Chain A
């Protein structure tokens, strides 16, 4: 490993100084890189209090409990959501979180399921499976170019609405998110919000939202691999729990059990069967602290770099941009060069960008009939010279 970014530059590049300067990473939409403090927090857990939380009386365990409770609180605070209305459960990732909710919704709670055309497979497949299992209609709404949903055409009565707040294709934001949530709830429905792409750089759109569940992946917001569910307490009435086991019971008998979530202090256990990823949860707390601090100074730079790359791509004749505007996620294809080949070519120059359909096959392949795309997704680790290297590498190719 070459530490060419150097210590001074490490500070300048937001605690990513450990990275090899030759490696240019543009796949933050899949998994963001971890800043040093987050890595340190995870390491600290493993080195200093590596133990189970919950139901332990020894010192390390109590420390784990404290740090995990801190993280739960930090998540709610980050989203400006009230602990009186919401609680936080941890899981594997966004897909897992969405499925935990959809697979345990009571029969008859909703009469239809609604989603949109630009959803990730985590939502697309889960809603198809839900519709089949419950024998209900599934409606796919086309999102507008600005990311919003046309509420005049939408019918959310008694509907389970599962949508993303931000698209992983082009960073489109569900601009009328709050109106959508309001309409669904007034219509007696349930809103599950996929916030995976929103948390790192577009979090504002989901702050204070009243969705029944907000699900996201910590690993897309500079934290270790972890799924997070922010669950409205009212949702529990609509859940028929079937995914149960260790870590979520107060007592068990021969033929029955008493689940802990009925005790408000342990309500989060409703979606936390089995041992949790304590170290990752602890490090998520640190990631939230780091993110709040970093975005104050780096968000403008991130937008500037994104625009620079967007403008470069827009200037190239053979390039067709999926994005209508610049943001940290930019997808495009070239009229003559295969996207996978382009990604492989860039990789030969040390530039790592994603290619394909980014788990959005329905929209990109079947609706838009695009060839495999290339996606640049920037993060707070991205430096000007990273963008310059990408531009330099592509300058000749895309002409």
Chain B
């Protein structure tokens, strides 16, 4: 173990000084024997230990034995840490390729990530916590699970993505569907600021004029006891899914020859998103900020209902939408959509977009 540690240290020191290159060769010879499970007979290990203990033995000979043992133990620990570090780097690299973040479980913890995205963080059982709770096996199995997830995500990342495969059945397109344009899907969380910025950028760039754009509403789950990352996201998504569900029923109930009554310029689900991302309340607060930071659940719901009234929904229709938003059907739809995001699209960052055969993470710019 000592020569393995020495090899890595000498690799670094040799970059800066030629005098370490000769011992580096010895360490390499020793290391190559070790990895082939052969005995290292170069005496390099003793040289390394003696170089440290030589001065000790002349002053405090009684410390030589405990220090020698400590060096062996330290070497084992360092080798474990190094192997673990290398494995972490490999895992992080794979995750970076697959998901655009080096941390599979908690993307926000990765300093190499884009930063311009809302991360879908999961709960992580730390090593100390796993020991404290008497389940170190869970720490190990979780680690390997993340390792497998990172590598299995690589081919997924590079496959040919077709937005049509993931657009919810009841979703609407931003503009009237144009057969001549490609299809794009945006996965967004109504509370995510990057989703808002991304939406505004798309408006500015005319993205919606070049693509048939639909969206999948995904409320990012919270961590550390919070149910959701943004406190009113789930409520908004429930309303979006309720509107989609109810409007689809109304559409299907139309008699032949009756035209669909379009109350607003956009489909209602897009209207909610548009108002949320671009509108301001009477106190001058941007709606998304207000929903995230100011509105209670009741206030948020009242605000959503006021928008629907404003857009021409009758009290009876509104009541139907509210009832639907609280229904198991809507909850099931949201769960299904979230399952698609988590396990089929397998993204770790919101917004995620699918267009032009690829999956894109983070801010659209």
Q: Which residues of A contact B (CB under 8 A)?
A: 336-338, 340-342, 344-349, 393, 396-397
User: In the bound complex, do residue B55 and residue A341 qualify as a contact, i.e. CB atoms below 8 Å apart?
Assistant: no
Give the complex CA separation of A340 and B53 in angstroms. Answer: 11
A-side contacts of B61, CB under 8 Å: 336-337, 396-397
User: In the bound complex, do residue B46 and residue A397 qualify as a contact, i.e. CB atoms below 8 Å apart?
Assistant: no
A-side contacts of B56, CB under 8 Å: 345
A-side contacts of B59, CB under 8 Å: 396
Give the complex CA separation of A118 and B64 in angstroms. Answer: 32
Q: Identify which of B49, B51, B57, B65 contacts A342 (C-beta below 8 A).
A: B57
Known A337-B64, A341-B53: A346·B58 in contact at CB below 8 Å: yes
Contact flags (1/0) for B31-57 with A, using CB distance below 8 Å? 000000000000000100111011111
User: In the bound complex, do residue A337 and residue B57 qualify as a contact, i.e. CB atoms below 8 Å apart?
Assistant: yes
Give the complex CA separation of A393 and B58 in angstroms. Answer: 7
Closest Cβ of chain A: how far from B363's Cβ, in Å?
60
User: In the bound complex, do residue B55 and residue A348 qualify as a contact, i.e. CB atoms below 8 Å apart?
Assistant: yes
Residue in A closest to B60 when the chains form the complex, CB atoms: A396
Chosen A-B contacts, 30 in total, with CB atoms closer than 8 Å, are: A336-B61, A336-B65, A337-B61, A337-B64, A340-B50, A341-B46, A341-B49, A341-B50, A341-B53, A341-B54, A342-B57, A344-B50, A344-B51, A344-B53, A344-B54, A345-B53, A345-B54, A345-B55, A345-B56, A345-B57, A346-B58, A348-B54, A348-B55, A349-B58, A396-B58, A396-B59, A396-B61, A397-B57, A397-B58, A397-B61
Closest Cβ of chain A: how far from B210's Cβ, in Å?
74
B-side contacts of A396, CB under 8 Å: 58-59, 61
A-side contacts of B64, CB under 8 Å: 337, 341
A-side contacts of B46, CB under 8 Å: 338, 340-341
Contact flags (1/0) for B198-226 with A, using CB distance below 8 Å? 00000000000000000000000000000
Known A337-B64, A341-B64: A347·B57 in contact at CB below 8 Å: no
A-side contacts of B53, CB under 8 Å: 341, 344-345
- Which of B53, B55, B58 has the largest number of chain A CB atoms within 10 A? B58
- Which of B54, B59, B65 has the largest number of chain A CB atoms within 10 A? B54
- Which of A336, A345, A349, A396 has the largest number of chain B CB atoms within 10 A? A345
Closest Cβ of chain A: how far from B224's Cβ, in Å?
52
B-side contacts of A345, CB under 8 Å: 50, 53-58
Give the complex CA separation of A392 and B46 in angstroms. Answer: 25
A-side contacts of B54, CB under 8 Å: 341, 344-345, 347-348
Closest Cβ of chain B: how far from A22's Cβ, in Å?
15
Give the complex CA separation of A347 and B58 in angstroms. Answer: 10
Give the complex CA separation of A344 and B65 in angstroms. Answer: 15
Further pairs besides A337-B61, A345-B56: 14, Cβ < 8 Å: A338-B46, A340-B50, A341-B54, A344-B50, A344-B51, A344-B53, A344-B57, A345-B53, A345-B58, A347-B54, A348-B58, A349-B58, A396-B61, A397-B57
A-side contacts of B51, CB under 8 Å: 344
The 6 A-B residue pairs with the shortest CB-CB distance in the complex, in nearest-first order: A344-B54, A345-B57, A344-B50, A345-B58, A345-B54, A348-B54
Give the complex CA separation of A89 and B46 in angstroms. Answer: 41
A-side contacts of B50, CB under 8 Å: 340-341, 344-345
B-side contacts of A338, CB under 8 Å: 46
A-side contacts of B58, CB under 8 Å: 345-346, 348-349, 393, 396-397
Give the complex CA separation of A348 and B54 in angstroms. Answer: 7
Residue in A closest to B56 when the chains form the complex, CB atoms: A345
Contact flags (1/0) for B61-87 with A, using CB distance below 8 Å? 100110000000000000000000000
B-side contacts of A337, CB under 8 Å: 57, 61, 64
B-side contacts of A346, CB under 8 Å: 58
- Which of A340, A341, A342 has the largest number of chain B CB atoms within 10 A? A341
Closest Cβ of chain A: how far from B72's Cβ, in Å?
14
Give the complex CA separation of A51 and B330 in angstroms. Answer: 104
Give the complex CA separation of A346 and B50 in angstroms. Answer: 11
Give the complex CA separation of A348 and B64 in angstroms. Answer: 15
Closest Cβ of chain B: how far from A317's Cβ, in Å?
13
Give the complex CA separation of A349 and B64 in angstroms. Answer: 17
B-side contacts of A341, CB under 8 Å: 46, 49-50, 53-54, 57, 64
Closest Cβ of chain A: how far from B51's Cβ, in Å?
7
A-side contacts of B49, CB under 8 Å: 341
A-side contacts of B65, CB under 8 Å: 336
B-side contacts of A397, CB under 8 Å: 57-58, 61
Give the complex CA separation of A397 and B51 in angstroms. Answer: 17
Closest Cβ of chain A: how far from B70's Cβ, in Å?
15
Give the complex CA separation of A337 and B51 in angstroms. Answer: 15
Find residues 130-158 in chain B having any chain A CB closer than 8 Å to their own CB: none
Give the complex CA separation of A274 and B221 in angstroms. Answer: 86
Closest Cβ of chain A: how far from B50's Cβ, in Å?
4
Give the complex CA separation of A54 and B53 in angstroms. Answer: 54
